[in-house]
Amino acid sequence: MQTGFRLNLTPVKEPLGFVKVVEWLMAVLAFGTCGGYNGRNVVSIFCGGSINETLSATFTYPFRLNQELLVENNTTLCNRTVPATHLVGDSSSSVEFFVAVAVLAFLYSMVALLVYLGYMHVYRDSDFGPMFDFVLTAVFAFLWLVCSSAWARGLQTVKDATSTAGIESTLALCTDRDVKCEVTDYASMRSLNISVIFGFLNLIIWVGNAWFVYKETRWHSQKVNAQQAAGRGPNPAPI
């Protein structure tokens, strides 16, 4: 059996290779829409007759909100001295897990495409290649489910912590009777919302691709052969 590189673009025209191209692109979009994000909400503090104040609630990837300073130490707001105050929450583990899965999926899709385009003759002549591909495809489908769900929850934590209710519960000044705190300018989180959507789209695509990879394995061929043998029935007895 020849094992050298032989370029063949036919697999890309088939579902097996075409879906891998889609997976590669979707992985890029998944981590590209949340990595490097930088947002800022403007918090207006209405001091009940005196001069109003303005704060900036800044949050960036990987969203360790408890390290983001909302008020510096001994800042005077509404004629009151306010101690150092940070935002509440930490979504770094969920978003970093999401990005890690996306990057690994991106790399595996590239490697799989290389095998499909140059070593398909080896891939289909062996049992190990298709089975290994199927197992990893199923693993990535599961990882996309877990990381997308975790990041969706983490993103909601970011939204809650930087909303008006979140700021009011974080900044003790906002509990005073004559002081009102309100987020008057929200940062756009469109790209973060899209990243969650791409995460679940990746889940659907990888689950679908698992079927096409499964059809390349001997498990599928053995099942088909068994069904065909059962359909033909027993051989007639010799006369």
Backbone φ and ψ of 207, nearest 5° = -65, -45
Residue the block writes with tokens 């993103």: 155
pLDDT by 10s per residue, the chain, length 239: 456 778 888 888 888 889 999 999 999 999 999 998 999 999 999 987 667 889 999 999 999 999 999 999 888 888 889 999 999 999 999 999 999 999 999 999 999 999 999 888 888 888 888 899 999 999 999 999 999 999 999 999 999 999 999 999 999 999 888 899 999 999 999 999 999 999 999 999 999 999 989 888 876 555 444 445 455 555 555 54
> Domain segments of the chain: what residues?
10-224
- Angstrom distance (rounded) from CA 71 to CA 55: 8
Return d(Cα 198, Cα 99) in angstroms, integer. Answer: 12
Give the pLDDT confidence score for residue 2 in this predicted structure. 59
Task: Please give the angle made by the CA atoms of 143, 147 and 153, to the nearest 5 degrees.
Answer: 155
Burial class (CB in 10 A: 0-12, 13-18, 19+), 194: middle
Peptide bond into 234 cis (omega under 30): no
**Dihedral, 198, 200, 201, 204 alpha carbons, nearest 10:** 160
